[in-house]
Structure formats: C-alpha cells, structure tokens
Amino acid sequence: MDTLARALELGVTFWDTWDAYGPHRNEELIGKFIRGRRDKFVIATKSGIVRTPSDPTRREINGRPE
C-alpha cells in the first residue's frame, strides 16, 4: 500500500491493471487502496480472466462489470 500511496502523492492517477497479472490479487489490492477516493483515479483494465484453482492452465474470459 505504501507504493500506491507514494504514487498518488506524486500525481500518478492513471492505473492499468489486469487480473492476468495475478489471480485477482492486483485488483483486490488496488480496490482496497482506492476505496473512498475512486474519483481521483482513472483505472484501465483489459478483460476478466477466470482461472480454475484446480487447473491453473484453464482460463476463460469474463466481461461482467463486477
């Protein structure tokens, strides 16, 4: 969180994320950080990759907003 806070202090407000960077960890971290200050950021994301915990090689696309 310290890195994200420092980025915001420096004026970095365009954040690019994608759940393919890690199984939803990136989105969870950023979501926690921006909670209550969402209007300060522009968030770019590509698509939702659905992973199957029992088979990490299996992936599907999920485009639902949630």
Alpha-carbon distance 33 to 26, whole Å? 11
21 catalytic per annotation: yes
Q: Are 24 and 53 in contact (CB under 8 A)?
A: no
Q: Does residue 65 carry a pLDDT above 90?
A: no
Alpha-carbon distance 50 to 58, whole Å? 8
Q: Does residue 64 carry a pLDDT above 90?
A: no
Give the model confidence (pLDDT) of 1-55 as tens digits.
899 999 999 999 999 877 666 666 777 888 899 999 999 999 887 667 777 778 8
Phi and psi torsions of 35, nearest 5°: -50, 125
Tell me the one-letter amino acid at 49.
I
What pTM value is reported for the model? Answer: 0.61
Annotated active-site residue in 6, 7, 12, 21: 21
